[in-house]
Amino acid sequence: NAGVTQTPKFRVLKTGQSMTLLCAQDMNHEYMYWYRQDPGMGLRLIHYSVGEGTTAKGEVPDGYNVSRLKKQNFLLGLESAAPSQTSVYFCASTNGAASSYNEQFFGPGTRLTVL
């Protein structure tokens, strides 16, 4: 099993450009999440999904959109990148349908720099 994978690993954008981050998991998990990690801020939830075709806003959703067309994939889009979106982005998944005591499985992260 590959677990949770993220594409790309690194990316540099110019202000105003758009991009999509791809997250894939092969564990048949129901729940998927996108977080951003900034120094001193810990992990902040951007959007999440409780199943195929569903999405919901997290703590910091502005400037991002997501889609969950297939159960195994969760896409994070930046329509018009801003320097404030420079961060490390993590995708995670869990078998949340079972119980909230299940741990999350994280991808390796995507380092995004917006100039």
Partner 1 sequence: AQSVTQLGSHVSVSEGALVLLRCNYSSSVPPYLFWYVQYPNQGLQLLLKYTTGATLVKGINGFEAEFKKSETSFHLTKPSAHMSDAAEYFCAVSVRGGSYIPTFGRGTSLIVHP
Identify which of residues 17 and 30 has a Cβ nearer to partner 1 in the complex. Answer: 30
Residues 6+ apart with CB under 8 A from 65: 47, 76, 77, 79
Q: Which residues lie near partner 1 (CB under 8 A)?
A: 4, 31, 40-43, 45, 48, 50, 58, 90, 92, 94, 96, 99-104, 106-109
Minimum CB distance to partner 1, residue 19 (Å): 20
Minimum CB distance to partner 1, residue 87 (Å): 14
Identify which of residues 54 and 84 has a Cβ nearer to partner 1 in the complex. Answer: 54
Identify which of residues 8 and 108 has a Cβ nearer to partner 1 in the complex. Answer: 108
Backbone angles phi, psi at 83, to 5 degrees: -55, -30
Minimum CB distance to partner 1, residue 80 (Å): 27
Report the DSSP pairing between strands 56-57 and 42-49: antiparallel
Identify which of residues 42 and 69 has a Cβ nearer to partner 1 in the complex. Answer: 42
Q: For the chain, how many residues are written?
A: 115
